[in-house]
Amino acid sequence: MRRGPLRKALATVGHRVTILGFTAFAIFPFYWMLITTFKQNSDLYVGASNTAHNPFIFNQPPTLLHLKTLFQNTLYLTWLFNTLWVGAIVVLITLVLAVPAAYSLARLTGRWGERLSIGIFLTYLVPSTLLFIPFSRLVALLGLQNHLGALVLIYPTFTVPFCTWLLMGFFKTLPKEVEESAMVDGCSRLGAIGRVVLPLAMPGLLTVVIFALTLTIQEFVYSLTFISSVERMTVSVGVPVALVRGDVYYWGSLMAACLITSAPLAIIYNLFLDRFIAGFTVGAIR
Amino acid sequence: MDAAEAGPTATFLKPADTLSPRDRRLGKWLLAPALAYIFLLVALPFLLALFLSLTNSSAGSLDFSFVGLQNFRSVVTNPVFLRALRNTFVFTFVSQFLVIMLGNILARALLEQFRGKLLVRFLILMPWAAPISLATLGWLWIFDSTFSVINWLLKVAGWLGPGQWYYWLGDPALGMVAIITVHVWRLLPFSTVILLAGLTSIPAEVHEAADIDGAGPLAKTFQITIPMMLPILSVAVLFGTVFTFTDMNVVYLLTRGGPYNSTHVLASLAYQEGVLGGDVGRGASIAIFLLPLLVAMAIVMLRRSRRAEVA
């Protein structure tokens, strides 16, 4: 059955329209953040019932005022710093726990290791919305309320299972001969891991660093639950909780903060997407 | 590069029977810290959640007494809870249905080669990469009661006449529409890339063989694509369902469960009662209602992985 040229052209048009429609849906909120960031207040707060005022374009010259407010008059930079500080320690803890565990599951545990690795991955599915209540007891008991230490303690509960799973997959792709030959040359197993396996696993380790960091930056529920002082907040909570002030309109700076935080994450995610998806689809694709 | 190639553990390597006792011991030592952490900070808190739901524990003090099933009894007769329970199911089913439908359409469109594909992939992925709380803020502004750009468009299109207005976040039905829209927007990239990985993993030879046998596009869809997609479809549905059923971010940031607690889901209600309201026992007992579905999903996943092991 051959398609006529007309049908082919129609199919192409349909395809382009589909792609355009989905792309527009995906990026519209980001476009909205961008234009809001640079609009003057008198251009922003007109009211949607005024049909003569097109909100999609700049009706007045763009301004840098909202950006200035964000960086000079809010704690945005403090929140960014807090987030990265927590992120760095969480990444470190994640590596220390997940790398040995993943290697062990990939090479040293035999049959029961497979079952165990699935069990570890399932803990990733225990939601924060079930755990925040017992954690609030634990945090109170340890005196960590309103302390970033609470987040450092708790965030590895989702980074460790996911990263162990990802890394285990990565170690399994390395041929066993790699460390066997090093061991024949007189290395111990641990020496072979340190000298041969880890350097080869660098791309996997980098993926884990990136994901532990991005999961930390994205986390909202625990940070909302355990941090109450404005100057100790992380960026994902500080912006929605502390920048929204009652009836005072702050949308320009607010949208600037959302956009500036989201854009780098989007770029990083794209670079590491394939490995991320591989972590979820194990066993379903062959 | 597609995920099928990058999927390193697609086939489980047969475990070596030649592990020396020394290696086995080392294996246990390397695994111990991670297992200990998971036991202390996931398994025990999980049990503590079950336990707290049976107590009258509150945020102010660490004292509590055992009250049996009293929390559950008072919770299940509470209309706000019943509404939240219903909302949770509506939220999960409607958004999962939309995400899988739209995800399939989008994944098929992305399967074809076209100019600017990399850029399109980047843009489409943005909603999943952005921190959910910040992305939802963007939507909060889009749904604003006075300045909503959607209302502006509807006015210009003539849908909303003079004096007519949509208060997106101030109305129970519109509130749910807004919540589901944002969640679909957020989850669509995730499901799409997973489905795309499944589509690209169907070898071209399968389609070529079907062409030689004279199969039409419909027959190919039903006899090749759908059966071969089922495992990956189940992955997208399983994770999507879990992420949706237990989510409180979108509800909390868009409506805070309002107006009048009409748009709560289980997770946001548990937060309101257990954390904001300080009634830890009650909050825990609400969160426990998330469990049956999670357990069901875990069982399905275990079965699936066992099948993959055998195959």
Contact B232 A55 (CB under 8 A): no
**B44, B137, B196: best mutation site toward chain A, by most A Cβ within 10 Å?**
B137
Dihedral Cα B65, B66, B69, B73, nearest 10 deg: -10
Task: Identify all chain B residues contacting A52, using CB atoms and an 8 Å cutoff.
Answer: none
The identity of residue A98, as a single letter, is A
Q: Is the pTM of this model over 0.90?
A: no
Could you tell me which of A28, A249, A49, A222 has the C-alpha nearest to residue B181?
A28
Match 């000298």 to its residue by tokens.
A195
The answer for A 143-172 residues in CB contact with B (under 8 A) is: 153-154, 156-157, 160-161, 164, 168-170, 172
- pLDDT surpasses 70 at A187: yes
Sequence-distant (6+) residues with CB within 8 A of A225 are: A132, A135, A136, B271, B275
Per-residue pLDDT at B309: 53
Per-residue pLDDT at B6: 38
A125 in B contact zone (CB under 8 Å): yes
Could you tell me which of A33, A79, A71, A67 has the C-alpha nearest to residue A235?
A79
- 3-state SS, residue A244: coil
- pLDDT surpasses 70 at A207: yes
Per-residue pLDDT at A248: 64
What residues pair up with B55 in beta bridges, in sequence order? B66
CB pairs under 8 A between A and B: 355
For B46-96, the pLDDT digits (tens) are 999 998 888 888 876 777 788 888 888 888 889 999 999 999 999 999 999
For chain B, list the domains and their CATH numbers: 85-310 (1.10.3720.10)
B157 in A contact zone (CB under 8 Å): no
Could you tell me which of A282, A274, A118, A99 has the C-alpha nearest to residue A200?
A99
List the single residue in B34, B156, B266 with the smallest CB-CB distance to A160: B34
A39 in B contact zone (CB under 8 Å): no
**Where does the pLDDT of residue B308 fall: very low under 50, low under 70, confident under 90, or very high at 90 and above?**
low
To the nearest whole number, what is the mean pLDDT of chain B?
Answer: 85
Per-residue pLDDT at A243: 81
Highest mean pLDDT among A63-67, A119-123, A137-141, B180-184: B180-184
Q: Domain A81-281: which topology? A: MetI-like fold (1.10.3720)
Q: In angstroms, what CA-CA distances link A57 with A37, A44, A62? A: 12, 10, 10
Average pLDDT (B249-275) is: 90
**Complex-level ipTM:** 0.88
Find, in chain B, the residue whose alpha carbon is nearest to that of A171.
B8
Per-residue pLDDT at A95: 95
Domain ranges, ordered by start, for chain A: 81-281
The answer for B 96-125 residues in CB contact with A (under 8 A) is: 102, 105-106, 109-110, 112, 114, 120-125
Structure tokens at B35: 């297992």
d(CA B17, CA B196) in angstroms, rounded, equals 37
Q: Which residue has the higher pLDDT, B41 or B308?
A: B41
Lowest mean pLDDT among A171-180, A261-270, B267-276: A171-180
* B21, A103 contact by CB (below 8 A): no
